[in-house]
């Protein structure tokens, strides 16, 4: 088969252009194999040589769309051009249609936003947004789930911004994995405000200087972020979401040349997560800790002898070359972030999509922890995480942080937590929220 633009195919038998016996006209974006033709995917009309004028051919194409028609070579070329024009016209319509649909959605969002403003209803509905993203991903035939979710996340983000601008505090500067978590949760149509410490993220959000705060809480290789757990004890905020970000570390330099690197700068946790790679590839380089990976990238952008461990986004922001990609010692490294807000979320429309977090402490006696958690088993509530932190009272007592499956609006979760609260010395409900999307 000989190819024509637009994916149109013309095939002829014989070498003499005047002895063409048949021609394949395929109105598809890619070629079909002979086996697919044999399966009957195309209309197979076997005929002796016949001349068909363009008008008659155009009518046949209109009737059948695709097929095999007996025509001469010149007429085949003309037919291919006709079909190519129609394909391009169809592509133009397909490109135009999403814009129309998005604009229609925006009109609806504006009207809904006016109603929300009048009733004080929350603009950010993570459980609803997650449902939209998962349904969109399940409907696509040509793209994988993450790609579809990324597209729709930006549409949702832009539409949400039509109601009002969402402000989010995070551990900065720009280019950190915390900023990536903000973009993963809210999309790019937000006002992201970097903070110098996790405590500042809490303060900014508690004082309503931002609508939300995003803080790291757990890394799959380095464990819990202790300061986040400690601050959760005293905050008035509630957990409204979680984000799981794959941690892909890269060695960034201004030149992209590894041989020039004499000093490697990164957050202490990033240095620890890349220990083996550094000892193998840069055994003589000095390792220097800094406040964030992005700060290391900023310094590396000013000095050829400095390499920074940071994300692809940091490389883009600071215009650095990648001298080593994916240098983390464990490929499955991820960090979990919590999204903090002022208003509780509703239960997800579909079951099994929510998580609940609470904290409690017990009087120090034999079996106390078992007694405190026993209601979970009795009501069939699955515990997914248990972490302890010192109570900071000097008496070697501990606060326990617990994640369970389900939402506080679920009857089983509500009963279990009510009983736990009655049995514990201190109890604090920290939030029910939709699970992180893949």
How far, CA to CA in Å, does 197 sit from each of 166, 355, 434?
Answer: 21, 26, 26
Question: Which residues partner with 386 through β-bridges?
Answer: 402
Q: Can you point out the beta strands (E) in 62-123?
A: 67-69
Place of tokens 């016949």: 50
The set of catalytic residues is: 335, 337
Under the phi-then-psi rule, with left for phi > 0, alpha for psi from -120 to 50, and beta for the rest, what region is 335?
Answer: beta
Are 251 and 261 a contacting pair, CB within 8 Å?
A: yes
397 in Cβ contact with 347 (< 8 Å): no
267 CB neighbour count, 10 Å cutoff? 20
3-state secondary structure of 315: helix
Strand partners, 213: 169, 340
Backbone dihedral angles phi then psi of residue 436, each to the nearest 5 degrees: -65, 140
Is 344 in a helix, a strand, or coil?
A: coil
Neighbour count for residue 352 (Cβ, 10 Å): 8
Residue 328, Cβ density class (10 Å: 0-12 exposed, 13-18 middle, ≥19 buried)? buried
Assess contact for 274 and 296: CB atoms under 8 A.
no
């Amino acid at each position: 088969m000989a190819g024509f633009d637009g994916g149109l195919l013309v095939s002829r038998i014989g070498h003499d252009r005047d002895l063409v016996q048949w021609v394949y006209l395929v109105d598809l974006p890619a070629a079909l194999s002979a086996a697919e033709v044999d399966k009957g995917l195309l209309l197979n009309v076997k005929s002796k040589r016949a001349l068909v004028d363009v008008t008659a051919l155009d009518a046949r194409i209109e009737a059948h769309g695709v097929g095999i028609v007996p025509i001469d070579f010149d007429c085949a070329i003309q037919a291919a051009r006709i079909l190519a024009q129609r394909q391009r016209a169809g592509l133009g319509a397909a490109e135009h249609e999403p814009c129309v649909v998005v604009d229609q959605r925006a009109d609806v969002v504006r009207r809904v936003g006016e109603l929300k403003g009048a009733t004080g209803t929350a603009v950010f509905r993570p459980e609803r947004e997650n449902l939209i993203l998962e349904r969109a991903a399940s409907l696509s035939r040509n793209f994988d789930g993450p790609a579809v979710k990324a597209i729709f996340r930006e549409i949702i983000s832009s539409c949400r911004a039509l109601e009002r601008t969402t402000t989010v505090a995070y551990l900065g500067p720009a280019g950190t994995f915390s900023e990536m978590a903000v973009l993963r949760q809210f999309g790019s149509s937000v006002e992201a405000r970097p903070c110098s410490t996790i405590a500042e993220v809490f303060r900014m959000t508690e004082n309503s200087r931002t609508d939300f705060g995003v803080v790291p809480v757990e890394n799959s290789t380095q464990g819990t972020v202790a300061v986040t757990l400690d601050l959760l004890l005293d905050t008035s905020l509630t957990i409204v979401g979680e984000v799981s970000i794959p941690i892909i570390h890269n060695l960034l330099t201004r030149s992209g040349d590894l041989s020039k690197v004499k000093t490697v700068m990164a957050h202490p946790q990033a240095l620890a997560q890349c220990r083996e790679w550094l000892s193998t590839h840069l055994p003589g380089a000095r390792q220097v800790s800094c406040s964030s990976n992005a700060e290391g990238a900023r310094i590396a952008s000013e000095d050829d002898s400095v390499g920074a461990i940071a994300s692809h986004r940091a490389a883009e922001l600071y215009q650095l070359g990648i001298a080593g990609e994916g240098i983390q010692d464990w490929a499955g490294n991820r960090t979990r972030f919590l999204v903090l807000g002022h208003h509780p979320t509703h239960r997800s429309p579909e079951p099994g999509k929510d998580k609940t977090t609470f904290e409690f402490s017990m009087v120090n006696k034999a079996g106390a922890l078992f007694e405190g958690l026993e209601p979970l088993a009795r009501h069939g509530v699955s515990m997914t995480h248990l972490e302890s932190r010192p109570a900071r009272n000097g008496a070697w007592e501990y606060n326990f942080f617990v994640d369970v499956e389900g939402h506080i609006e679920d009857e089983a979760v509500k009963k279990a937590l009510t009983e736990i609260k009655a049995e514990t010395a201190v109890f604090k409900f920290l939030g029910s929220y939709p699970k992180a999307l893949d």
